[in-house]
Structure 1
Amino acid sequence: MKTTLLAFVAILGMCSATVVQHKLIYRESPKMQMMRRGEWGAYVQHKAALRDANPAVFASAPQNVNDFGDVEYLGNITIGTPPQQFIVVLDTGSANLWVPGSNCDGTCKGKSEFDSSKSTTFKKNGQSWQIQYESGSAKGIMGVDTVAFGGASEQQLLVPSTTFGIASHISSNFKNDAAEGILGLAFTSLAVDGVTPPLINAINKKILDQPLFTVFLEHKGTAKNVGGGVFTYGAVDTTNCGPVIAYQPLSSATYYQFVADGFKLGSYSNNKKSQVISDTGSSLIGGPSAVINGFAQALGAKYHSDDDAYYLPCSTSKGTLDITIGGNVYSIEPVNYILDVGMGDTCVFAAFSFDFGGFGPSWIFGDPFIRQYCNIYDIGQQRIGFAKSLQPSSK
């Protein structure tokens, strides 16, 4: 009888762990929309003016990887009991969850707002928080409640007793965006105020089958607010991704940061080892200006300082952008690094220059890389894996 009871408890424990697939919504990034309308140059100048006017604020920004004007992939979550639904950025480049609150000022108008009085599982925290991103900010108080990855009508990953931010004010960049909040998926060490991120909380509670998740992003198209891929929590996605090519150890468990050995595009190559992060919160690839300019020259792309962007003919064909990681070469096809934003025969090179000033990663691998290769974020073993993305057209 004792043996039978122990076996039952063991089976119950196994069944309590789970794998959840979180469906994504694709929508064109605000950056691409503004480029098409000819408004991006003015926005770039506006951002520069804000930085010049508030140098101390931006110098200490803890989330300076993220410019959420680049975001293209969103997902639904719910908070509370009964569930209140929000559409958020699923972001591996930050580590905090926040959504607008019912006490938010006019900046949250038109967005869903969390009402703590309507949740039977809500617990007060009361600690204030403020996050400054590269292109926006938010502030408010913290609360504790059940957070569920996925929409109310979808399979959900339920994470009880999760601390999250309830925004009382958001900057205009977020006010005008389709997303209502941000769900950070990076490590606790990156979180503002040391808050345990929701996914780390799920892992600590042993809710998932495995302490990892896989990201599959579909190739972008012209449609908006349509299915854009899936995040699989607790398992390697073998439906949308091919066999794992290799895992690379993380060099820093803050962002998902690792080492790349070299880069090549057309006639240009660079073999300097570099610190890189995988960031689902960016629709582009960012890197040192010398390398990005070398790529652009090899492509024949022209830099426009007003827009801070590289333009080239959509018909440009210079082969793949090759990245060497751990001795393996990962090739990004032109469909993923040359973006058609609806400007006739003119397209955009999906790259930008940035400088971390000698601190932090020197490259950001955003959607062009993740669309080409599924990324497996192995939190438990502090490593990242790559598998060929099986796009619908090639399945």
Structure 2
Amino acid sequence: MMRTPSLRAKMINEGTWAANKNQFKKTRVLATGNSTVSDYYDNEYFINITLGTPPQTIVVVPDTGSANLYVAPCNDNDQQNCFDSSKSSTSNATQSGKYVSDVFSVAGLTYKTQEFGLTTFIQFGILGLGWPGNAIDNVVPPMQNLLPQLDKPLFSVWFDRQGGSGGLITFGAIDSENCDSNINYVKLSSLTYWQFSMSSVHVGSYTSNKPVQAISSTGTSWIGAPSADMNAIVKAINAQYDNIHQIYYVSCTQTGLPDWVFTIGGKQYNIPSTEYVTDVGLGNGNCAVTIFENSGFGPSWVLGDTFIRTYCNFYDIGNQQIGFSKARHTEV
């Protein structure tokens, strides 16, 4: 049986491949995109997306701890940050009726038939950046739909501190401007959350060498810990409990507090008190300690924005791993 030679083989045979190969490489270059992040008092981070035709801009929380896209529906004329399907020429209800399918864009990247939910229980949308295994109703997550367009099957997250530029999410590339080039990767232990093993926790006089499971969650403001670990940590830093607000606090002027040290993949990650102590308006010169009790099923620890501000997170879908490197900040 005769086989038709590939175009590449034909050009090599004709001696024209060397002169044209660079042009062919250019046609295969895929996309990257940057989404500027807005920082709300170091407690919440937001980006803009658009939905529909013509595009409707929606402010969403980028959340690696979930996998679905949810936005609020427009139910009255003066409602803001909502999606009005009646004003989109490309909007369609899915067969189940539980979701809407429409054009979705973020950071200059577009997918024409993204399924998303409409819910009245949120002020801001939620852009789930997790794995299909964590998606409700088996809806294909936005990141999975964007993957074929990306130069690399990954995205980078850099969160700045309050008073800075807010942050940046880079789709399809490593953020080399805001993140140190020395990236340490660990394999994921589950393809639901961005989940990995953590071998130890050390804070002052407290050390736990018990291996645990942790997740990276951009949609979680603080650090979630099991009850026993949380109690030991707040004791190690002499934090007090605020019964009204149900959070732990220390004096905003307290000095000499120890770092929180997490060991992941044989590397130590130090979180200084300048990151885990924050002024949330408690008054009386008191500042919140950014830790909460993580109870119930699932991974023991949640490394939220307190951790991510200190270390850029690199979500490598193609290699099923997550990387960390020191975040760069301009003093403000």
Q: What's 1:11 paired with?
A: 25
Residue 361 in structure 1 maps to residue 299 in structure 2: yes
Please say if residues 237 and 258 of structure 2, whose CA atoms lie closer than 8 Å, have aligned partners that are also in contact: no
Question: Over aligned residue pairs, what C-alpha RMSD do you find?
Answer: 2.3
1:322 to 246, 253, 261: 261
Q: 1:183 aligns with which of 104, 111, 127?
A: 127
Kindly tell me: are residues 318 and 8 of structure 1, through their superposed partners in 2, closer, same or farther at Cα, counting changes over 3 Å?
Answer: closer
Task: Provide the residue aligned with 1:164 in structure 2.
Answer: 116
TM-score, length of structure 1 as denominator length: 0.75
Q: Which residue of 1 aligns with 2:93?
A: 124
Q: CA deviation at 1:301?
A: 0.1
Equivalent residue number for residue 37 of structure 2: 24
What is residue 3 of structure 2 aligned with on the other side?
none
Question: In structure 1, what is the Cα distance between the partners aligned to 2:243 and 2:223?
Answer: 18
Contact 1:100/1:111, CA 8 A, preserved across alignment: no
User: What displacement does 1:110 show?
Assistant: 2.4
Aligned-pair identity in percent equals 40
Distance, in Å, in 2 between the alignment partners of 1:8 and 1:264 is 52
Paired residues in the alignment total 316
Match of 1:98 among 64, 70, 78: 70
Pick from 105, 124, 133: which aligns with 1:148? 105
Matching residue's letter, 2:138: G
Equivalent-residue separation in structure 2 for 1:22 and 1:291 (angstroms): 35
Q: Secondary structure of 1:393's match?
A: coil
- Three-state SS of the structure 1 residue aligned to 2:149 is coil
The residue aligned with 1:65 is: none
Q: CA deviation at 1:82?
A: 1.7
Deviations 1:146-203 (A, max 9, x none): 21114xxxxx121222111233xx23xx3xx4x2x11100011111100001111111
Identify if the C-alpha distance between structure 1 residues 122 and 11 changes in structure 2 by more than 3 Å, giving closer, same or farther.
farther
Q: Could you list the runs of 5+ residues in structure 1 that have no partner in the other structure? A: 30-70, 129-140, 151-155
Report what 1:302 is aligned to: 240
| Maintained 8 Å contact 1:265/1:318 | no
Aligned partner of 2:162 in structure 1 is: 220
Distance in 2 between the 1:391 and 1:227 partners? 9
Match of residue 53 from structure 1: none
1:341 equivalent in alignment to 2:280:
yes
* Distance in 1, Cα, partners of 2:78 & 2:131: 31
CA distance in 2, matches of 1:325, 1:11: 38
- Answer yes or no: is the 8 Å Cα contact 1:244–1:385 preserved in 2: no
| Residues 156-305 of structure 1 mapped to structure 2, 5 A cutoff | 156-167=108-119, 170-171=120-121, 174=122, 177=123, 179=124, 181-203=125-147, 206-221=148-163, 227-305=165-243
Q: Secondary structure at the match of 1:18?
A: coil
Query: Any conservation in 2 of the 1:332–1:369 contact (CA below 8 Å)?
Result: yes
Unaligned residue ranges in structure 2 (runs of 5+): 1-6
Task: Measure how far apart 1:145 and its partner are.
Answer: 1.7
Distance 1:393 1:307 in 2: 30
CA contact (8 A) 1:286 1:354 kept: yes
Consecutive aligned runs of 4 or more in structure 1 exceeding 4 Å deviation: 4-9
Match of 1:351 among 283, 287, 291: 291
* Distance (whole Å) between structure 1 residues aligned to residue 243 and residue 208 of structure 2: 24
- Helix, strand or coil at the partner of 2:94: strand
More helix per residue: 1
Q: Which amino acid aligns with 1:336?
A: E
